[in-house]
Amino acid sequence: MSEHTESGVHVASMRLLVTIMIALMIGTWLTVSVTHFDFGFLNIWIGLGIATVKAVLVGLYFMHLRWDKPFNAFVFVSAFAFLFLFIGFATMDSAHYQDVIIPGWPLK
Amino acid sequence: MVGQNHDGGPDPNLAHHFESMDQQRQSTKLGMWLFLATEILFFGGLFVFYTVYRGNHPEVFVFGAHFLDTALGALNTVVLIFSSFTIAWAVRAAQLKQVKLLKWLIIATMLCAFTFMGVKYIEYSAKWKHGLLWAGSYNPHLDHDAPHDVVAVEGEVHTAEADVEIVEIEEVQHVSEGEIVEPIVTDVAIEPVAEVADPGRSTIAPAAEGPGGLATPEAVVAEDVMPVEPANAKIFFSIYFMMTGLHGIHVLGGIVAMLWLLKCLRRGDFDTGHFTKIDMVALYWHVVDIIWIYLFLLLYLID
Amino acid sequence: MIATGLLKLLTAVTGSLPDDDGSSFWMPPQVSTVAQGVDWLFNFILAISVFFFLLIVVAMVIFVIKYRYKEGQTAEESPTHNMALELTWTVIPLILVIAIFIFGFKGYLDMSTPPSNAYEVLVEGQKWNWSFTYPNGYIDSDLHVPVDRPIRLVMGSQDVIHSLYIPAFRVKMDVVPGRYAKAWFQATKPGEYDLFCAEYCGTSHSDMIAHVIVHPVGEFETWLEKASNFLETMTPVDAGRKLFQVRGCQQCHSTDGSAKTGPSLLGVFGRTQNLADGSTITVDENYIRESVLEPQARVVAGFEPVMPTYQGRLSDPEIMAIIEYFKALDGASSEE
Amino acid sequence: MAVDTLAADGAAVGNPNRANYLNTGSGVLSWLFTLDHKRIGVMYLVAITTSFFLGGVFALLVRTELLTSGPTIMTADAYNKMFTLHGAVMIFLFIIPGIPAALGNFVLPLMLGAKDVALPRLNLTSFWFWMIGAVFAVSSIIIGAVDTGWTFYTPYSTTTGTAVISMTLGVFILGFSSIFTGLNFIVTIHKMRPEGMTWFKMPLFLWGLYSTAIIQVLATPILGITLLLLVAERALGVGIFDPTLGGDPVLFQHFFWFYSHPAVYIMILPAMGIISELVAVFSGKHIFGYKFIAWSSIAIALLSFLVWGHHMFTSGQSGITNMIFSALTFSVAIPSAVKVFNWLSTMYKGSIRLLTPMLYVLSFLFLFAIGGLTGLFLGALSVDIHLHDTYFVVAHFHYVMFGGTVIAFLGGLHYWWPKMFGRMYSERWGQVSALLIFVGFNLTFFTQFVMGSHGMPRRYYNYVEEFTTLHQASTVGSYVLALGFFIMAGYLIHSLFRGKPAPANPWGSVTLEWETSSPPVAHNFDHDFLAGDPYDLKSLKYDPATQGWVRKDPQSIILSEGGAH
């Protein structure tokens, strides 16, 4: 799948790069075509799922995470973890206080 | 103990404070990954803006999505994915010391980046022309000369809790250029709420006039009516411009980095197989691509 | 004398000696139903804190004295870790803080759920004064409430974030523009208490103070009755002055000639005024009335058309009172 | 060139005019464009002490204004600008970069036996970002100082006419300076530890810097996007925070505090790292519970991201979110308590030398105990409703930030002063100013606890008569505090020129920074290390000739030339 230079550096093979690129193109086509079917609220999650698969492919193969020290991947994933923590709390709280918001404020 | 290369002397690219090339390369890569973590969190703030607003006002996004052209978005996604491929290939070329191929691959990636920015320019100018800008300067106006498709809708707005439902969209035709007409929405002052029996309850709403909001528009199916514009629809365009704008700035940053790579290439930095520079720019570019993958999904594919 | 002073200070510091009206070294008087619970929890945490603080400081002082460095002598052998000790001083604080959380949350539940039969007052915060609207529509710049009755405040802000804070009732709620804020209390002792703005809101944030007047049983209704028809009871000029202050006119119009956002009203009646569109007008009842109801119609030269309309917010008799007040502002009897 | 570092001839007597990092290059440019972590550390030290004095002047002006309730020396607007500048300068210019950038930059590579941080150019970029950010922030004073408070709450910050954009851009740039420092430290600790220094053989100061760096890297970007959105709200009106455009001010508070609470742990964790070092060395004993102290630093760093909502209990946050944040807030109190108890146990059966750094350790334990415990009042929901936005909160965070971070910073400054400048400071004056600072601080801020619980709101230019005497006591306290700092400035500057030359290891510590001369040579060390236990104080003996400490067996930690690699 991939050769190594003398000092243990990983070189991605052409075949791998091309297959990943094609996989990403298919993924894009998939996300677009999914929107034509109405799965209700599921749509957003299916779309996010496919996008995450694409992101993981880019991360693992294009960004060499698969052959790299695992700490690098840990750093990258922890960034997403802290982001989801922030999104979770902010969305939960704002959803709970929507009932006191005056729509269309300031009323002329 | 100092990093050796073939002819035994210290590797010219090895900084004085490192023990070996591997230690230097690992350190630089870890530093880059930490920087990419900050980029993810930096864009994260805008994803919070998006999620909070979409969670609370889904109708704003359904309305706003009419004015984003999915085809252009898909084209941009394909262009960015291809540029990810070319720069990943460029890293491989640098590792195998194929310097000429490396040059062309960097140029190819830059071409993709310019195409991406060009498509962005087209989208932005269309929105600029119709005043579909961020909240501060949002004044949607019809462009009379160009023919446009009709979006007929029957909407009902409850003033009390202002949960706006677009009951059903009878006939949605593709709004290519995003032309819309002046919103026919009259702002009717509502009389104060009727007298309430229990003296303890209030008779006057605290903030000046009675609870405002939009009056119920008659469901007029006319030639050039537009989808009922929900309250604060302008926020969608704020989110759109903030997200794609910040992403665009990062694409420009990538272009500048690739210009610097070409300068290093001409200076012969890649002749010795020392590929850290292209490796780092490639990592940055892949993250820019990953962020666009999510942006495309969240902004263009709403239904 | 020093001993008693010290003793009083120590017991006061531990907050255990409330005076007659419930105020202690640490806390203002307890005047609402929740104040008791809040002060109890405050003292509970205070007791824990004083205990651990003394534990740490006394241990520190003893170690410093007992194990002072002596020339050429090194420290004795002693363990460098002890799992049992570590567990004890992790588990015990954990239990204590869980207890504090539970008490705190229970107290918060009472404070945030108003009883259904609460008497509702609407509060309006704006840069730098409070206005309170009572159910019969009367607006006052102070909060008058009956004693021993739950009061529910529905609050709104017109400009920036303010925060209604009554220390004696232990109640505080930020008033965020663009939304209703809700708070409730039940006063237990008649009297007058301070009401502060606790969220920074600009130049006169520290002057945005109102007063809560708790009326004894039965007196509130008579007060409200008398105050509501202040037009009949007060002279028109006094009623006009009261409206001028409570309805926010004084925010933009001065009565001493000094320039503010709006024109000064010193000696305004009968004055010839040149308008923004170049024409001039002598100020009479009609012009004042028109400026109150449609302020943008004829704007005085040199001023911005920013005055909000009072259409539907000021009744005709109220406008008449304001006009009388303006007439009295003829510079002879200059206002304070 | 045979440089007589310690290893070569045993206890080299301190000799400041020998070749070292201070006098190698000449001229300003050799300083401003240096890549040497020691010089960058010293430049940062000068920069942050200047900002500390600037912030201190603003504090004195605020306290003087509050001597009497009405106007005393300035107008209400001037007062609002003064307390905003005091907060912004102290936090963004002094205490966030503070220990990591000044002491950390200098000491971290030395403690690792390394020649420099992993990314020296990034280190210099960090310093230059600090300078540019500071220029933006301070220049906002001239073009209409900001009057929004250091928290920039909207919609006030989007509607006030003062130079909010200049200040926010300044803080935006300072954020990157902080990210680069944190990033550099993580990479250096991961990749450049010497032979034998496993994660649990690392000095605890490095654990403190490592956990701080985690927060710097993961929290500061959110501050960046918050300020960017604030500038966009003011300039373009994007309608995220401004209610007139449909925005939500409470969402701004979520954005702001998601960074700003972890930021208070950026401030305290390096301070705790210093205290761990100092308490072991000056108790002449191995640290107690090393693993617990190390793990509690990491625990604090992670838990700090879960608790930001306790700043918003009265701000309109929903009830359920209040409950969750109140519960999580108490989880953060536990690791801090564990650390304090471990430091106390370190002092047990030690041989305690009451030198100036140890005085700061003792006052840290005293003040941080009060600061930490008063956090319990503010974590409990019902009590916080009464205490929020009052002087109780002001006193709490001053006890933790000043009583904690600044006191530890002063302890660390005195501890590493001989190593940084090759000179000893006057021990007698050191103890005088430490006492003055301790007394002045307590007088200034304990009175504020009492005012706060009686209902004295924050940021008040004019206050009701009831609080006059307490305000006056607090102001007198602030003058005593200022006196203590002037004395310190005096004897430290004096020691730079006429201080007694410092031996390589004046305090008897085993961490590696004491293995080179004071001040260190430009390339730090001449050999690699085989690091041992960083608190094995038994391996040293006092050498009266140089009034310093030396290793009983100097060769034990030197990696032989052909060492295993």
Domain residue limits, chain B: 21-136+236-300, 145-228
Instruction: Choose, out of A28, A52, A53, A89, the residue to mutate when testing the contact with B (most B CBs < 10 Å).
Output: A28
Looking at the partner chain, which of B16, B48, B52 has a beta carbon nearest the beta carbon of D115? B16
CA-nearest residue of chain D to A72?
Answer: D187
Strand partners, C119: C151
Phi and psi torsions of C292, nearest 5°: -75, -40
Half-sphere exposure of B53 (CA within 13 A, CB side): 29
- D222/B30 Cβ within 8 A: no
CA angle C53, C54, C58 (to 5 degrees): 125
- Between residues B147 and D117, the one the model is more confident about: D117
DSSP state of B155: E
Read out DSSP for C106-153?
Answer: HHHHHHHS--TTPEEEEEEEETTEEEEE-TTS-EESSEEEETTSEEEE
Per-residue pLDDT at D420: 94
pTM for the full predicted model: 0.88
DSSP character at residue D286? P
Look at C195-209, D5-19, D88-102, D238-252 and tell me which has the smallest mean pLDDT.
D5-19
Six token digits for residue D471? 């305000």
> Using CB atoms, which residue from C158, C178, C182 is nearest to A101?
C178
pLDDT of B208 reads: 39
Residues A79-106 as b/e (b if ≥16 CB within 10 A, e otherwise) read beebbeebbebbbebbeebbeebbbbbe
Q: How many CA atoms lie within 13 A of D465 on its CB side?
A: 0
What residue spans define the domains of chain D? 34-557
**Sheet harboring C143-146: ordered strands across?**
C143-146, C210-215, C191-197, C162-166, C171-175
Amino acid at B184: I
Q: Is C123 left (phi over 0), alpha (psi -120 to 50) or beta?
A: beta
pLDDT for B153: 35
- Which residues of chain B does C312 touch, with a Cβ-Cβ cutoff of 8 Å? 192, 209
Residues in contact with D156: Cβ distance below 8 Å, sequence separation at least 6, in sequence order: C160, C161, C200, C201, C202, D148
Measured CA to CA in angstroms, residue D364 lies from D346, D400, D409, D440 at distances of: 15, 9, 10, 14
Which H, E and C letters describe D251-263, residue by residue? HHHHHHHHHHHHH
Summary mean pLDDT of chain D? 92
DSSP one-letter string for A60-97 = IIIT-GGGS-HHHHHHHHHHHHHHHHHHHHHHHHHHHT
Q: Which residue in C has a C-alpha nearest to residue A106's C-alpha? A: C178
Tell me the CATH number for domain D34-557: 1.20.210.10
pLDDT of the residue at B202: 43
The two three-digit tokens of residue C156, written as one number: 């709104």
Residues of chain D with pLDDT > 90, as a percent, come to 82
User: CB contact, 8 Å: D251 with chain A?
Assistant: yes
- Mean confidence (pLDDT) of chain C: 87
Residues D548/D506, Cβ–Cβ less than 8 Å: yes
Strand partners, C181: C155
Which tokens in the block code for residue D30? 């050799």
A4: pLDDT confidence band, cut at 50, 70 and 90? low
Q: What is the pLDDT of residue C284?
A: 87
The verdict on B276 touching A (C-beta cutoff 8 Å) is no
* Band (B3; pLDDT cuts 50, 70, 90): very low
Dist. CA D551–CA D509, nearest whole Å: 10
Please give, rounded to a whole number of angstroms, the shortest distance from the CA of B129 to a CA of chain C.
31
Does residue B212 register a pLDDT over 70? no
pLDDT of residue A5 exceeding 60, the answer is: no
Residue B49's closest CA among D247, D311, D176? D247
Give the count of alpha carbons within 13 A of B13, CB side only.
Answer: 17
Whether D517 shows a pLDDT value over 70: the answer reads yes
C-chain residues within 8 Å CB-CB of D156? 160-161, 200-202
Judge whether C191 lies within some domain. yes
Q: Which residue is it, tokens 């006429």?
A: D498
* C window 100-119, beta carbon within 8 A of B: 117-119
Q: What confidence score (pLDDT) does residue B271 get?
A: 87
For D67-222, strand residue ranges (E) read none
Structural Rg of chain A based on CA atoms:
21
If residue B156 lies in a helix (H) or strand (E), which one and from where to where?
Answer: strand B151-157
Examine the pLDDT at B224 and tell me if it is beyond 60: no
Cβ A59–B286 below 8 Å, yes or no? yes
Quick count: other Cβ atoms within 10 Å of Cβ C1?
5
Q: Give the percent of chain D with pLDDT over 70.
A: 96
Which residues on C lie below 8 Å from D325 (Cβ)? none
B-C contacts (CB, under 8 Å): 36
For CA atoms C47, C48, C50, C54, the dihedral sign is positive
D373 contacts C49? CB cut-off 8 A? yes
* Domain, as residue range, for C86: 2-68+81-112
Selection from D217, D139, D130, D216 nearest residue D173 by Cα: D130
Using the predicted structure, report yes or no on whether residue B302 has a pLDDT greater than 90.
no
Closest chain B residue to A105, measured at CA? B212
Q: What's the whole-number mean pLDDT along residues B234-258?
A: 95
Residue in chain C nearest B205 by alpha carbon? C122
CB contact under 8 A, B55 and A95: yes
Question: Looking at residues B95-104, what average pLDDT do you find?
Answer: 93
pLDDT reading at D256 higher than 50: yes
Q: Is the Cβ of B289 closer than 8 Å to some Cβ of chain A? A: yes
Which residues in chain C are closer than 8 Å to A102, comparing Cβ atoms?
A: 156, 178-180
Is B85 an 8 Å CB contact of chain A?
yes
Q: What is the mean pLDDT of residues D89-98?
A: 96
DSSP characters over B206-252: SSSSS------------TT------TTTHHHHHHHHHHHHHHHHHHH
How far is the C-alpha of D161 from the C-alpha of D159, rounded, in Å?
Answer: 6
**Within-domain flag for A105:** no
Q: Is the pLDDT of residue C300 over 90?
A: no
Could you give the CA distance from residue A89 to residue D320 in angstroms, rounded to a whole number?
11
Two tokens, residue D457: 């709101």
Indicate if the pLDDT at residue D371 is higher than 70.
yes
Whether the Cβ atoms of residue B177 and residue B148 lie closer than 8 Å to each other: yes
Write down the pLDDT at residue D1: 30
Q: CB neighbours of D208 closer than 8 A, spacing ≥ 6?
A: D269, D270, D271, D272, D273, D274, D276, D297
- pLDDT of C13 reads 57
Q: What radius of gyration do chain C's Cα atoms show?
A: 29
Q: Is C289 on the interface with A (CB under 8 A)?
A: no
Lowest-pLDDT choice from B28-37, C10-19, C27-36, D554-563: C10-19
Judge whether residue D272 has pLDDT over 80.
yes
CATH class as words, domain B21-136+236-300: mainly alpha
A97–C179: do the CB atoms touch at under 8 Å?
Answer: yes
Q: Do D187 and B34 touch (CB under 8 A)?
A: yes
Tell me, what's the pLDDT at C277? 84
**Do residues C179 and C250 share a domain?**
no
* Residue in the structure block whose two tokens are 């966009």: D232
* Residues D518/D14, Cβ–Cβ less than 8 Å: yes
Which chain B residues contact residue C133 at CB under 8 A? 202, 204, 206
D322 touches chain C (CB under 8 A): yes
Residue C314 has a pLDDT of 83
Q: Please give the tally of structural domains in chain C.
A: 3
The confidence band for C17, taking pLDDT boundaries of 50, 70 and 90, is: low
For B173, counting Cβ atoms within 10 Å of its Cβ (0-12 exposed, 13-18 middle, 19+ buried), the class is: exposed
Q: Which residues of chain D have a CB within 8 Å of the CB of B235?
A: 238-240, 245-247
Q: Do C49 and D374 touch (CB under 8 A)?
A: yes
Please say if the pLDDT value at position B4 is more than 50. no
C237 pLDDT band, cuts 50/70/90, is confident
Q: Where do we find the tokens 């440019």?
A: D29
Judge whether D248 is closer than 8 Å to chain A, CB to CB.
yes
Of B184 and D398, the structure prediction assigns the larger pLDDT to D398
Q: Across residues D302-322, what is the average pLDDT?
A: 95
The band of A108, judged by pLDDT with boundaries at 50, 70 and 90, is low
> Does residue A106 lie in a domain region?
no
Q: Is the pLDDT of residue B190 over 50?
A: no
Judge: C118–B208 Cβ closer than 8 Å, yes or no.
no
pLDDT digits (tens, 9 = 90+) for D154-196: 999 999 888 999 999 999 999 999 999 999 999 999 999 999 9
pLDDT value of position C309: 80
**C158 CB near a chain A CB, below 8 Å?**
yes
Q: Is the dihedral of CA D523, D525, D529, D535 positive or negative?
A: negative
Q: pLDDT by residue (tens digit) across A25-45?
A: 999 999 999 988 888 788 889
Mutate to test the interface with A, among C154, C179, C296, C311 (most CBs of A within 10 A): C179
The string of pLDDT tens digits covering residues D478-489 is 999 999 999 999
Whether A58 and B286 lie within 8 Å, measured CB to CB: yes
| Distance, first Cα to last Cα, chain B | 62
The per-residue pLDDT for range D290-306, each reduced to its tens digit, is 999 999 999 999 999 99
B188 touches chain A (CB under 8 A): no
Bond from prior residue into A106 cis (ω within 30 degrees of 0):
yes
Query: Per-residue pLDDT for D7 more than 60?
Result: no
Using the beta-carbon criterion (under 8 Å), do A62 and B38 form an inter-chain contact? no
pLDDT at residue B226 in the model: 57
Cα B129 versus chain centre, distance: 19
Number of structural domains in chain A: 1
Task: Give the pLDDT confidence of A68-107 residue by residue, as tens digits.
Answer: 999 999 999 999 999 999 999 999 999 999 999 988 887 7
From start to end of B12-76, where are the E strands?
none
Q: Which residues from B are below 8 Å from D238, CB to CB?
A: 134-136, 235, 238, 241-242
CB contact under 8 A, D382 and C167: no
What are the residues facing C183 on neighbouring strands? C153
Interface test with C, best of B193, B195, B204, B235 (most C CBs within 10 A): B204
The reply to whether C308 touches chain D by the CB within 8 Å rule is: no
Mark which residues 31-50 of A lie under 8 Å from C by CB: none
- Touching check for C93 and chain A: CB below 8 Å? no
Contacts of D247 in chain A (CB under 8 A): none
* Each residue's pLDDT tens digit, C161-197: 999 999 999 999 999 999 999 999 999 999 999 999 9
Reported confidence tier of residue B9, pLDDT bands at 50, 70, 90: low
* ipTM of the modeled complex: 0.90
pLDDT (0 to 100) of residue B178: 39
Mean pLDDT is lowest, of A65-79, C228-242, D419-433, for C228-242
Mean residue pLDDT across chain B: 76
For residues C78-88, give the mean pLDDT.
91
Question: A102–C179: do the CB atoms touch at under 8 Å?
Answer: yes
- Has residue C74 been placed in a domain? no
Q: Phi/psi at C190 (nearest 5 deg)?
A: -60, 155
CB of B242 within 8 Å of any CB in chain D?
yes
Pick D76's closest partner by Cβ from C173, C197, C204. Answer: C204
Chain centroid to CA D15 = 30
Cross-chain residue pair C178–A97, CB shorter than 8 Å:
no
Tell me the average pLDDT of chain A.
89
Q: DSSP secondary-structure letter at D371?
A: H
d(CA B47, nearest CA chain D) in Å:
11
C215 touching chain D per CB within 8 A: no
Q: What share of chain B is helix, strand, coil (3-state, %, to 5)?
A: 55, 5, 40
Residues in chain B: 303
Residue D562 token pair: 């052909």
* Token pair in block for residue A70: 């695992």
**C123: chain B residues, CB-CB within 8 Å:** 206
Residue ranges making up the domain that contains A22:
2-100
Q: Which residues pair with B285 in a beta bridge?
A: none
Amino acid D452: pLDDT: 95
Strands (E) in chain C, as ranges, are: 119-126, 129-133, 139-140, 143-146, 150-157, 162-166, 171-175, 181-186, 191-197, 210-215, 272-274, 280-282
pLDDT in tens, C239-292: 888 888 878 787 778 888 887 778 888 888 888 888 888 888 888 888 888 888
Torsion of CA D447, D448, D449, D451, to 10 degrees: 90
CB within 8 Å: D160 and C170: no
Q: Which residue has the higher pLDDT, B289 or B213?
A: B289
Q: Report how far residue C272's alpha carbon sits from residue D215's, in angstroms, rounded to the nearest whole number.
A: 66
